[in-house]
Structure 1
């Protein structure tokens, strides 16, 4: 397999889509990795496996409709394997394994059959102290955009997933790219004020357009840099509540086609005004775990 990922929107040819099958029992509050999951555990509204399986299969059907090669993880009994974006990411022709929460290390082994199709020299592992998840990493042509948290209290945040050491490591691996990092707002307790990853508050879409949530960024100048990069008229601003429901976490099949959650009424209408076909799916149950469509897909090849 010849990997090729240079942006978020070129025509998708191959992807790993996670699975919600055999997800295991509902986690306890102590086991929750993010404040949104914890909120639904407390409220008694944590998503059921059968609902999440149905949502993911709807996405699989859309991908197959557009003749995308879809890989799925090998099933691990009683284990959450929905969010494949967390465990690895592709930049150009390199497959980079994430240094992820220790409890989730089995997930990368579940896509070993995919990695076996990749030339071994193209599979990279970052230094042990470089923590990163794929939701924080966005190739954008000459740029490589990376979400991080620069606070001295990084270790206190279970929601801090990508550190400055990872940003430096990516700069070393891709010296020809302009690596730009963004200091994201983190909260262990309030999901409406927590940008778990960069794609929870920002994503390029279509031809030179972007979705963004201002309050996801701790540094005003970094938010402004992104708005200026795309141009204000090309940016769709989402509200605090829309960020909570993961409106920026849709997924592009091409510049002209996206998969989006069916309840994102305002966003989906805007996308259509931009000439983009919106393939709507139900994904509200999966979003209760603070992840959506981009989080559950790992693109391998775009044209």
Structure 2
């Protein structure tokens, strides 16, 4: 059996699920897109090609191999976008939680069934149907669990609103010893620069006490200020609207010292290195066109 262990975002990674871009399917129709950025690229004729996305994901797989990390991949489903594995499940402590996601993505969950079956029955969590949640909104951080949410009345009309308050409450009940802190995110079905699809699209902790953040991703300024105060202003790297749009906060930590980042994130990568991090740069700009990046493509299973 597989014993999961995830207490935070940055401890030494031992095992991870990495999505796949194989048999990604044709360019979607606008009405089948899940986010405004994909729509933008479909309309512009710049939607990413499968071969480019496979190369980008293999670059990440190579970094994992270099650091001796066990990598699981989903079974390939013909003509199905399976890049963003974080959307379908996520781990906290020794539990795996199946995300209640957009209904037409259910088959993506089947692709990791072989892994799900290796985890003890009592550690496999399926939340009640009214709890909507995706892994990009959920961040274990030691004593805390940070969760991005949206509670506006227009929630049902926003395909970009993925995690609701019911899920926040359910996760708090699952982990009574944790402090669950939710953050209202800015949502837009039509403007990618005004849309924080998930919490990790506008915020992510790195190292032991640092964070990347984009103020405008948060609907309530006090919640953004709480995070800045929590990490300390001197430990926070503020990204611009353009950098958020390019997914600068969606990097991925292999350990407290090593971070996988996109090769074009010049300002961020320079700052990370100044803070003493090793930055493993990979090409990921094509995948970023679908409003997701490195954290979105992974499900960490075991961290030491």
Bin of the TM-score, shorter chain as denominator length: over 0.9
Please list the CA deviations of residues 47-74 of structure 1 after superposition, one character each: whole Å capped at 9, or x if unmatched.
0000000000000000010000000000
Q: 2:54 maps to which residue?
A: 53
Superposed counterparts of 1:172-183, under 5 Å: 172-183=173-184
Counterpart of 2:136 in structure 1 is 135
Aligned to 1:101: 102
Counterpart residue number, 2:166: 165
1:70 aligned onto 2:71: yes
Q: Give ranges in structure 2 of 5+ residues lacking alignment.
A: none
In 1, the alpha carbon distance for the partners of 2:257 and 2:181 equals: 26
Unaligned runs of 5+ in 1: none
CA distance in 1, matches of 2:31, 2:288: 20
Q: Which residue of 1 aligns with 2:213?
A: 212
Q: Deviations over 1:176-230 (max 9, x none)?
A: 1100000000000010110000000000001200000000000000000000000
Alignment coverage as a number of residue pairs: 303
For residue 254 of structure 2, give the secondary structure of its aligned residue in structure 1: strand
Match of 2:6 in 1: 5
Instruction: Check if 1:82 corresponds to 2:116.
Output: no
* 2:298 alignment partner in structure 1: 297
Runs of 4+ with >3 A deviation: none
Q: Secondary structure at the match of 2:183?
A: strand
| DSSP 3-state at the match of 1:228 | helix
- Tell me by how many angstroms 1:115 deviates: 1.2
The SS at the match of 1:80 is coil
Q: In the alignment, what sits opposite 1:154?
A: 155
Q: CA deviation at 1:232?
A: 0.2
Equivalent in the alignment of 1:117: 118
TM-score (norm 1): 1.00
SS of the residue corresponding to residue 47 of structure 1 reads coil
Alignment of structure 1 residues 228-247 onto 2, 5 Å: 228-247=229-248
In the alignment, the residues of structure 2 paired with residue 126 and residue 113 of structure 1 have an alpha-carbon distance, to the nearest angstrom, of 20
Compute the TM-score of the two structures, normalised by the length of structure 2: 0.99
After superposition, give the CA deviation of every residue in 1:82-140 in whole Å (9 maximum; x if it has no partner).
00000000000000000000000001110011112211110000011000000000000
Q: Matches of 2:87 and 2:30 in 1, distance apart?
A: 21
